[in-house]
Amino acid sequence: MAILVTGGAGFIGSNFVLDWLAQADEPIVNLDALTYAGNLENLSSLAGDSRHVFVRGDIGDFDLVADLLARHRPRAIVNFAAESHVDRSIHGPEDFIRTNVVGTFRLLEAARAYWNGLAADDRAGFRFLHVSTDEVYGSLAPDAPAFTETNRYEPNSPYSASKAASDHLVRAYHHTYGLPVLTTNCSNNYGPYQFPEKLIPLCMHNAQAGKPLPLYGDGRQIRDWLYVGDHCSAIRRVLEAGSIGEVYNIGGWNEQTNREVVATLCAILDELSPRADGRSYAEQIVFVQDRPGHDRRYAINAGKIERALGWHPAETFATGLRKTVRWYLDHQQWLRNVTSGAYRNWLKQQYGA
Ligand code: NAD
Ligand code: TYD
Protein backbone atom coordinates (compact mmCIF):
# COMPACT_ATOMS: atom_id res chain seq x y z
CA MET A 1 0.00 0.00 0.00
CA ALA A 2 1.01 3.61 -0.55
CA ILE A 3 -0.52 7.06 -0.63
CA LEU A 4 0.03 9.87 -3.12
CA VAL A 5 0.55 13.26 -1.53
CA THR A 6 0.60 16.41 -3.67
CA GLY A 7 2.36 19.59 -2.55
CA GLY A 8 4.41 17.61 -0.04
CA ALA A 9 7.41 19.95 -0.27
CA GLY A 10 5.39 22.93 0.98
CA PHE A 11 4.70 23.98 4.53
CA ILE A 12 1.82 21.73 5.59
CA GLY A 13 2.58 18.98 3.08
CA SER A 14 6.15 18.50 4.30
CA ASN A 15 4.98 18.41 7.92
CA PHE A 16 2.41 15.81 6.88
CA VAL A 17 5.00 13.64 5.08
CA LEU A 18 7.41 13.80 8.03
CA ASP A 19 4.68 13.03 10.59
CA TRP A 20 3.28 10.20 8.47
CA LEU A 21 6.61 8.44 8.03
CA ALA A 22 7.44 8.95 11.71
CA GLN A 23 4.33 6.94 12.58
CA ALA A 24 3.91 4.34 9.86
CA ASP A 25 5.87 2.50 7.20
CA GLU A 26 3.33 2.97 4.43
CA PRO A 27 5.23 4.68 1.58
CA ILE A 28 4.43 8.15 0.28
CA VAL A 29 4.72 9.22 -3.33
CA ASN A 30 5.19 12.97 -3.13
CA LEU A 31 4.25 14.96 -6.26
CA ASP A 32 5.30 18.59 -6.06
CA ALA A 33 6.00 21.16 -8.78
CA LEU A 34 8.57 22.92 -6.56
CA THR A 35 7.25 26.42 -7.09
CA TYR A 36 8.87 29.15 -4.95
CA ALA A 37 6.94 27.60 -2.00
CA GLY A 38 8.30 24.08 -2.43
CA ASN A 39 11.47 23.39 -0.49
CA LEU A 40 13.11 19.98 -0.54
CA GLU A 41 15.30 21.03 2.36
CA ASN A 42 12.19 20.45 4.50
CA LEU A 43 12.49 16.76 3.63
CA SER A 44 16.26 16.39 3.89
CA SER A 45 15.89 14.07 6.89
CA LEU A 46 14.28 11.55 4.51
CA ALA A 47 17.29 11.33 2.18
CA GLY A 48 17.84 7.68 1.29
CA ASP A 49 14.55 6.62 2.85
CA SER A 50 12.90 4.28 0.36
CA ARG A 51 9.47 4.95 1.88
CA HIS A 52 9.54 8.45 0.34
CA VAL A 53 9.41 8.73 -3.45
CA PHE A 54 9.70 12.34 -4.62
CA VAL A 55 8.49 13.30 -8.09
CA ARG A 56 8.82 16.80 -9.43
CA GLY A 57 5.72 17.59 -11.47
CA ASP A 58 2.44 19.42 -11.80
CA ILE A 59 -0.93 18.18 -10.54
CA GLY A 60 -2.31 19.60 -13.80
CA ASP A 61 -0.24 17.14 -15.85
CA PHE A 62 -2.84 14.42 -16.43
CA ASP A 63 -0.45 12.00 -18.14
CA LEU A 64 2.15 12.26 -15.40
CA VAL A 65 -0.43 11.75 -12.64
CA ALA A 66 -2.05 8.84 -14.52
CA ASP A 67 1.36 7.22 -14.88
CA LEU A 68 2.18 7.69 -11.19
CA LEU A 69 -1.16 6.20 -10.17
CA ALA A 70 -0.71 3.22 -12.49
CA ARG A 71 2.83 2.57 -11.25
CA HIS A 72 2.38 3.07 -7.49
CA ARG A 73 -1.30 2.07 -7.13
CA PRO A 74 -1.97 4.25 -4.06
CA ARG A 75 -4.98 3.65 -1.84
CA ALA A 76 -5.45 7.40 -1.38
CA ILE A 77 -4.56 10.82 -2.72
CA VAL A 78 -4.10 13.72 -0.30
CA ASN A 79 -4.15 16.99 -2.22
CA PHE A 80 -2.17 19.80 -0.59
CA ALA A 81 -0.79 21.30 -3.81
CA ALA A 82 -1.96 24.86 -4.25
CA GLU A 83 -0.97 28.46 -4.55
CA SER A 84 -1.63 29.49 -0.98
CA HIS A 85 -0.80 33.14 -0.31
CA VAL A 86 -3.63 35.72 -0.38
CA ASP A 87 -1.34 38.68 -1.07
CA ARG A 88 0.21 36.95 -4.08
CA SER A 89 -3.28 36.13 -5.36
CA ILE A 90 -4.09 39.84 -5.29
CA HIS A 91 -0.99 40.71 -7.33
CA GLY A 92 -1.27 37.78 -9.74
CA PRO A 93 -4.41 35.63 -9.64
CA GLU A 94 -3.65 33.57 -12.75
CA ASP A 95 -1.36 31.01 -11.08
CA PHE A 96 -4.13 30.43 -8.53
CA ILE A 97 -6.64 29.60 -11.25
CA ARG A 98 -4.10 27.39 -13.03
CA THR A 99 -3.16 25.27 -10.03
CA ASN A 100 -6.06 25.51 -7.60
CA VAL A 101 -8.86 25.24 -10.16
CA VAL A 102 -7.52 23.65 -13.37
CA GLY A 103 -4.87 21.62 -11.54
CA THR A 104 -7.38 20.18 -9.08
CA PHE A 105 -9.73 19.41 -11.97
CA ARG A 106 -7.04 17.47 -13.85
CA LEU A 107 -5.99 15.65 -10.69
CA LEU A 108 -9.63 14.66 -10.15
CA GLU A 109 -9.85 13.43 -13.73
CA ALA A 110 -6.75 11.28 -13.31
CA ALA A 111 -8.06 10.00 -9.96
CA ARG A 112 -11.44 9.14 -11.50
CA ALA A 113 -9.89 7.18 -14.37
CA TYR A 114 -7.62 5.29 -11.96
CA TRP A 115 -10.42 4.60 -9.47
CA ASN A 116 -12.72 3.33 -12.23
CA GLY A 117 -10.10 0.78 -13.21
CA LEU A 118 -9.58 -0.65 -9.70
CA ALA A 119 -10.88 -4.01 -8.53
CA ALA A 120 -14.00 -3.83 -6.34
CA ASP A 121 -12.18 -4.04 -2.98
CA ASP A 122 -9.64 -1.40 -3.93
CA ARG A 123 -12.38 0.85 -5.32
CA ALA A 124 -14.24 0.62 -2.03
CA GLY A 125 -11.14 1.49 -0.01
CA PHE A 126 -9.88 4.36 -2.19
CA ARG A 127 -10.08 8.00 -0.92
CA PHE A 128 -9.41 11.39 -2.46
CA LEU A 129 -8.81 13.84 0.39
CA HIS A 130 -8.85 17.50 -0.59
CA VAL A 131 -7.18 19.93 1.81
CA SER A 132 -8.93 23.29 1.85
CA THR A 133 -9.28 26.42 3.91
CA ASP A 134 -11.78 28.25 6.13
CA GLU A 135 -11.33 31.29 3.89
CA VAL A 136 -13.93 29.89 1.43
CA TYR A 137 -16.66 30.90 3.92
CA GLY A 138 -15.78 34.60 3.72
CA SER A 139 -15.62 37.13 6.54
CA LEU A 140 -17.55 36.97 9.84
CA ALA A 141 -19.15 39.85 11.75
CA PRO A 142 -17.66 40.27 15.26
CA ASP A 143 -20.55 38.51 17.02
CA ALA A 144 -21.41 35.92 14.33
CA PRO A 145 -21.09 32.23 15.23
CA ALA A 146 -17.99 30.39 13.99
CA PHE A 147 -18.09 28.68 10.58
CA THR A 148 -19.73 25.28 10.44
CA GLU A 149 -19.65 22.94 7.45
CA THR A 150 -23.04 24.26 6.32
CA ASN A 151 -22.02 27.91 6.09
CA ARG A 152 -22.52 29.49 2.68
CA TYR A 153 -19.43 29.86 0.52
CA GLU A 154 -18.61 33.57 0.21
CA PRO A 155 -14.95 33.76 -0.86
CA ASN A 156 -13.53 37.28 -1.10
CA SER A 157 -9.98 36.97 -2.46
CA PRO A 158 -8.77 35.36 -5.67
CA TYR A 159 -7.07 32.77 -3.42
CA SER A 160 -10.22 31.85 -1.52
CA ALA A 161 -12.33 31.94 -4.69
CA SER A 162 -9.95 29.51 -6.37
CA LYS A 163 -10.02 27.19 -3.35
CA ALA A 164 -13.83 27.44 -3.26
CA ALA A 165 -13.94 26.43 -6.92
CA SER A 166 -11.73 23.42 -6.20
CA ASP A 167 -13.95 22.39 -3.26
CA HIS A 168 -16.99 22.53 -5.56
CA LEU A 169 -15.26 20.37 -8.16
CA VAL A 170 -14.36 17.79 -5.51
CA ARG A 171 -17.96 17.77 -4.31
CA ALA A 172 -19.25 17.40 -7.89
CA TYR A 173 -16.94 14.43 -8.58
CA HIS A 174 -18.52 12.65 -5.67
CA HIS A 175 -22.11 13.47 -6.58
CA THR A 176 -21.74 12.88 -10.29
CA TYR A 177 -19.20 10.09 -10.56
CA GLY A 178 -19.26 8.59 -7.07
CA LEU A 179 -15.56 9.34 -6.48
CA PRO A 180 -14.97 8.69 -2.75
CA VAL A 181 -13.88 12.16 -1.65
CA LEU A 182 -13.28 13.86 1.69
CA THR A 183 -12.80 17.61 2.12
CA THR A 184 -11.23 19.43 5.05
CA ASN A 185 -11.47 23.19 5.66
CA CYS A 186 -8.85 24.34 8.13
CA SER A 187 -8.00 27.64 9.76
CA ASN A 188 -4.62 29.43 9.73
CA ASN A 189 -1.71 27.09 10.39
CA TYR A 190 1.61 27.96 11.99
CA GLY A 191 4.69 25.89 12.82
CA PRO A 192 8.00 24.66 11.36
CA TYR A 193 8.84 25.07 7.65
CA GLN A 194 6.33 27.84 6.91
CA PHE A 195 7.46 30.12 4.11
CA PRO A 196 8.34 33.54 5.51
CA GLU A 197 5.74 35.39 3.46
CA LYS A 198 3.06 34.42 6.00
CA LEU A 199 2.53 36.48 9.15
CA ILE A 200 4.27 34.40 11.84
CA PRO A 201 7.48 33.35 10.02
CA LEU A 202 7.71 36.80 8.42
CA CYS A 203 7.66 38.40 11.87
CA MET A 204 10.16 35.83 13.19
CA HIS A 205 12.51 36.71 10.38
CA ASN A 206 12.05 40.48 10.54
CA ALA A 207 12.28 40.61 14.32
CA GLN A 208 15.72 39.05 14.26
CA ALA A 209 16.88 41.06 11.27
CA GLY A 210 15.96 44.26 13.10
CA LYS A 211 13.29 45.03 10.50
CA PRO A 212 9.71 46.29 10.98
CA LEU A 213 6.93 43.86 11.90
CA PRO A 214 4.18 45.00 9.52
CA LEU A 215 0.55 44.82 10.63
CA TYR A 216 -2.02 45.54 7.94
CA GLY A 217 -4.55 48.29 8.70
CA ASP A 218 -5.47 48.46 12.39
CA GLY A 219 -4.17 44.92 13.09
CA ARG A 220 -7.49 43.95 14.67
CA GLN A 221 -8.38 41.32 12.05
CA ILE A 222 -9.15 37.99 13.67
CA ARG A 223 -7.99 34.52 12.61
CA ASP A 224 -8.25 31.10 14.22
CA TRP A 225 -4.75 29.62 14.59
CA LEU A 226 -3.89 25.91 14.61
CA TYR A 227 -0.49 24.27 15.09
CA VAL A 228 0.47 22.46 11.88
CA GLY A 229 1.03 19.11 13.63
CA ASP A 230 -2.60 19.23 14.78
CA HIS A 231 -3.76 19.89 11.22
CA CYS A 232 -1.75 16.85 10.09
CA SER A 233 -3.25 14.62 12.80
CA ALA A 234 -6.74 15.78 11.79
CA ILE A 235 -6.09 14.91 8.14
CA ARG A 236 -4.79 11.47 9.11
CA ARG A 237 -7.92 10.92 11.18
CA VAL A 238 -10.27 12.04 8.39
CA LEU A 239 -8.45 9.80 5.93
CA GLU A 240 -8.78 6.88 8.34
CA ALA A 241 -12.37 7.28 9.48
CA GLY A 242 -14.10 10.17 7.67
CA SER A 243 -17.40 9.43 5.91
CA ILE A 244 -17.23 9.56 2.13
CA GLY A 245 -18.52 12.82 0.66
CA GLU A 246 -18.34 14.66 3.99
CA VAL A 247 -16.69 17.97 4.79
CA TYR A 248 -14.82 18.49 8.06
CA ASN A 249 -13.88 21.88 9.50
CA ILE A 250 -10.59 21.85 11.40
CA GLY A 251 -9.60 24.55 13.87
CA GLY A 252 -7.97 25.33 17.17
CA TRP A 253 -10.80 27.13 19.03
CA ASN A 254 -8.28 29.91 19.15
CA GLU A 255 -9.33 33.29 17.81
CA GLN A 256 -6.70 36.00 18.02
CA THR A 257 -6.30 39.45 16.53
CA ASN A 258 -3.15 39.93 14.48
CA ARG A 259 -1.99 42.42 17.13
CA GLU A 260 -2.31 39.71 19.78
CA VAL A 261 -0.47 37.15 17.65
CA VAL A 262 2.48 39.44 17.01
CA ALA A 263 2.56 40.73 20.62
CA THR A 264 2.68 37.13 21.93
CA LEU A 265 5.40 36.26 19.44
CA CYS A 266 7.45 39.26 20.57
CA ALA A 267 7.01 38.35 24.24
CA ILE A 268 8.29 34.80 23.60
CA LEU A 269 11.21 36.15 21.58
CA ASP A 270 12.04 38.69 24.31
CA GLU A 271 12.36 35.75 26.68
CA LEU A 272 14.14 33.22 24.45
CA SER A 273 16.36 35.50 22.36
CA PRO A 274 16.43 38.99 23.87
CA ARG A 275 17.44 41.97 21.76
CA ALA A 276 21.00 43.14 22.33
CA ASP A 277 19.77 46.55 23.49
CA GLY A 278 17.44 44.97 26.05
CA ARG A 279 14.32 46.52 24.50
CA SER A 280 11.27 44.57 23.34
CA TYR A 281 10.78 43.28 19.80
CA ALA A 282 7.28 44.79 20.10
CA GLU A 283 8.92 48.17 19.42
CA GLN A 284 9.47 46.96 15.83
CA ILE A 285 5.70 46.68 15.15
CA VAL A 286 4.49 49.12 12.50
CA PHE A 287 1.06 49.61 10.96
CA VAL A 288 1.08 49.56 7.17
CA GLN A 289 -1.48 49.92 4.42
CA ASP A 290 -4.25 47.35 4.64
CA ARG A 291 -4.63 44.42 2.24
CA PRO A 292 -7.37 45.16 -0.35
CA GLY A 293 -10.60 43.32 0.52
CA HIS A 294 -9.02 42.09 3.78
CA ASP A 295 -11.37 39.64 5.54
CA ARG A 296 -12.05 40.88 9.05
CA ARG A 297 -12.68 37.68 10.94
CA TYR A 298 -12.50 33.91 10.52
CA ALA A 299 -13.54 31.45 13.21
CA ILE A 300 -13.95 27.69 13.01
CA ASN A 301 -16.45 25.48 14.76
CA ALA A 302 -14.56 22.18 14.91
CA GLY A 303 -17.40 20.39 16.71
CA LYS A 304 -18.17 17.96 13.87
CA ILE A 305 -14.69 16.42 13.58
CA GLU A 306 -14.44 16.28 17.37
CA ARG A 307 -17.79 14.52 17.81
CA ALA A 308 -17.68 12.28 14.74
CA LEU A 309 -14.00 11.32 14.72
CA GLY A 310 -12.78 12.10 18.24
CA TRP A 311 -10.05 14.45 16.99
CA HIS A 312 -8.76 17.21 19.28
CA PRO A 313 -5.80 19.54 18.88
CA ALA A 314 -2.87 18.58 21.09
CA GLU A 315 -1.37 22.09 21.28
CA THR A 316 -2.76 25.31 22.71
CA PHE A 317 -1.69 28.55 21.07
CA ALA A 318 0.70 29.17 23.97
CA THR A 319 2.46 25.79 23.63
CA GLY A 320 2.34 25.70 19.83
CA LEU A 321 3.70 29.20 19.35
CA ARG A 322 6.52 28.63 21.84
CA LYS A 323 7.49 25.43 19.98
CA THR A 324 7.38 27.32 16.71
CA VAL A 325 9.55 30.19 17.93
CA ARG A 326 12.07 27.70 19.30
CA TRP A 327 12.09 25.85 15.98
CA TYR A 328 12.86 29.01 14.00
CA LEU A 329 15.56 29.99 16.49
CA ASP A 330 17.11 26.54 16.15
CA HIS A 331 16.85 26.56 12.34
CA GLN A 332 18.23 29.95 11.42
CA GLN A 333 20.11 28.47 8.48
CA TRP A 334 16.83 27.16 7.05
CA LEU A 335 15.35 30.65 7.27
CA ARG A 336 18.49 32.22 5.77
CA ASN A 337 18.46 29.72 2.89
CA VAL A 338 14.83 30.54 2.15
CA THR A 339 15.17 34.31 2.37
CA SER A 340 18.41 34.34 0.34
CA GLY A 341 16.98 31.96 -2.26
CA ALA A 342 19.79 29.46 -1.55
CA TYR A 343 17.22 26.68 -1.10
CA ARG A 344 16.73 26.79 -4.86
CA ASN A 345 20.39 25.97 -5.56
CA TRP A 346 19.60 22.34 -4.98
CA LEU A 347 17.16 22.56 -7.87
CA LYS A 348 19.77 23.92 -10.26
CA GLN A 349 22.22 21.30 -9.15
CA GLN A 350 19.70 18.53 -9.61
CA TYR A 351 17.77 19.64 -12.66
CA GLY A 352 19.98 22.23 -14.38
CA ALA A 353 18.73 25.69 -15.29
P1 NAD B 1 2.53 26.15 0.52
O2 NAD B 1 2.35 27.31 -0.42
O3 NAD B 1 3.52 26.24 1.62
O4 NAD B 1 2.87 24.82 -0.31
C5 NAD B 1 2.25 24.49 -1.50
C6 NAD B 1 3.05 23.37 -2.17
O7 NAD B 1 2.36 23.00 -3.37
C8 NAD B 1 4.46 23.79 -2.58
O9 NAD B 1 5.38 22.78 -2.22
C10 NAD B 1 4.38 23.95 -4.09
O11 NAD B 1 5.61 23.68 -4.75
C12 NAD B 1 3.31 22.94 -4.43
N13 NAD B 1 2.61 23.24 -5.69
C14 NAD B 1 2.11 24.44 -6.09
N15 NAD B 1 1.54 24.33 -7.31
C16 NAD B 1 1.66 23.02 -7.66
C17 NAD B 1 1.25 22.28 -8.81
N18 NAD B 1 0.59 22.86 -9.82
N19 NAD B 1 1.51 20.95 -8.84
C20 NAD B 1 2.18 20.36 -7.82
N21 NAD B 1 2.61 21.02 -6.74
C22 NAD B 1 2.34 22.34 -6.64
O23 NAD B 1 1.06 25.88 1.08
P24 NAD B 1 0.62 25.33 2.52
O25 NAD B 1 0.48 26.48 3.45
O26 NAD B 1 1.45 24.18 2.87
O27 NAD B 1 -0.87 24.85 2.19
C28 NAD B 1 -1.10 23.52 1.71
C29 NAD B 1 -2.59 23.36 1.46
O30 NAD B 1 -3.32 23.62 2.64
C31 NAD B 1 -3.13 24.33 0.41
O32 NAD B 1 -4.06 23.63 -0.38
C33 NAD B 1 -3.80 25.41 1.21
O34 NAD B 1 -4.87 25.99 0.50
C35 NAD B 1 -4.30 24.62 2.40
N36 NAD B 1 -4.44 25.38 3.67
C37 NAD B 1 -3.40 26.13 4.13
C38 NAD B 1 -3.53 26.80 5.35
C39 NAD B 1 -2.40 27.61 5.93
O40 NAD B 1 -2.59 28.27 6.95
N41 NAD B 1 -1.20 27.59 5.38
C42 NAD B 1 -4.73 26.70 6.07
C43 NAD B 1 -5.77 25.91 5.55
C44 NAD B 1 -5.61 25.25 4.35
P1 TYD C 1 -1.41 35.33 6.33
O2 TYD C 1 -0.38 34.67 7.17
O3 TYD C 1 -1.00 35.92 5.01
O4 TYD C 1 -2.62 34.32 6.17
P5 TYD C 1 -4.12 34.59 5.58
O6 TYD C 1 -4.14 35.85 4.82
O7 TYD C 1 -4.31 33.39 4.72
O8 TYD C 1 -5.02 34.62 6.78
O9 TYD C 1 -2.03 36.50 7.18
C10 TYD C 1 -2.60 36.28 8.46
C11 TYD C 1 -3.18 37.61 8.92
O12 TYD C 1 -2.11 38.53 9.13
C13 TYD C 1 -4.09 38.26 7.88
O14 TYD C 1 -5.14 38.95 8.56
C15 TYD C 1 -3.18 39.26 7.19
C16 TYD C 1 -2.25 39.68 8.31
N17 TYD C 1 -0.89 40.09 7.89
C18 TYD C 1 -0.36 41.28 8.37
O19 TYD C 1 -1.01 42.04 9.11
N20 TYD C 1 0.91 41.62 7.98
C21 TYD C 1 1.65 40.83 7.16
O22 TYD C 1 2.80 41.21 6.80
C23 TYD C 1 1.09 39.59 6.68
C24 TYD C 1 1.88 38.68 5.76
C25 TYD C 1 -0.19 39.25 7.10
Confidence category of residue 341, pLDDT binned at 50, 70, 90: confident
Average pLDDT over residues 115-144: 98
DSSP 13-82: HHHHHHHHHHH----EEEEE---TT--GGGGGGGTT-TTEEEEE--TT-HHHHHHHHHHH--SEEEE--S
96 CB within 6 A, ligand 1: no
198 CB within 6 A, ligand 2: yes
Residue 283: count other Cβ atoms within 10 Å of its Cβ: 11
Average pLDDT along the chain: 96
pLDDT digits (tens, 9 = 90+) for 185-198: 999 999 999 999 99
What is the distance, to the nearest Å, from the Cα of residue 158 to the centroid of all Cα atoms in its chain? 17
351 catalytic? Reply is: no
Nearest CA to ligand 1 atom 37: 133
8-state DSSP, 103: I
pLDDT digits (tens, 9 = 90+) for 45-97: 999 999 999 999 999 999 999 999 999 999 999 999 999 999 999 999 999 99
Average pLDDT over residues 317-330: 98
CA-based nearest residue to 220, from 302, 157, 273, 294: 294
Average pLDDT over residues 250-279: 98
Helix axes 332-340, 199-208, angle to 10 degrees: 100
188 CB within 6 A, ligand 2: yes
Q: Please tell me the distance from the alpha carbon of residue 273 to that of residue 281, in angstroms, as a whole number.
A: 10
Confidence category of residue 340, pLDDT binned at 50, 70, 90: confident
Distance 332 CA to ligand 1 centre (A): 22
pLDDT at residue number 74: 98
For the CA of 197, the closest atom of ligand 2 is 24
Average pLDDT over residues 127-150: 98
Helix axes 317-330, 199-208, angle to 10 degrees: 50
* 353 pLDDT more than 70: no
104 CB within 6 A, ligand 2: no
Confidence category of residue 347, pLDDT binned at 50, 70, 90: low
Confidence category of residue 135, pLDDT binned at 50, 70, 90: very high
Distance 80 CA to ligand 1 centre (A): 5
Residue 327: count other Cβ atoms within 10 Å of its Cβ: 16
224 CB within 6 A, ligand 1: no
Distance 199 CA to ligand 2 centre (A): 5
pLDDT at residue number 344: 75
Q: Which ligand is nearest to the CA of 162?
A: 1
* 237 pLDDT more than 80: yes
For the CA of 291, the closest atom of ligand 2 is 15
Q: Please tell me the distance from the alpha carbon of residue 194 to that of residue 90, in angstroms, as a whole number.
A: 20
Q: 3-189+227-253+298-315: which CATH number, 3.10.20.30, 3.40.50.720, 3.40.50.300, 3.30.310.10? A: 3.40.50.720
Distance 9 CA to ligand 1 centre (A): 9
pLDDT at residue number 111: 99
80 CB within 6 A, ligand 1: yes
Annotated catalytic residue, options 135, 224, 255, 315? 135
* 350 pLDDT more than 60: no
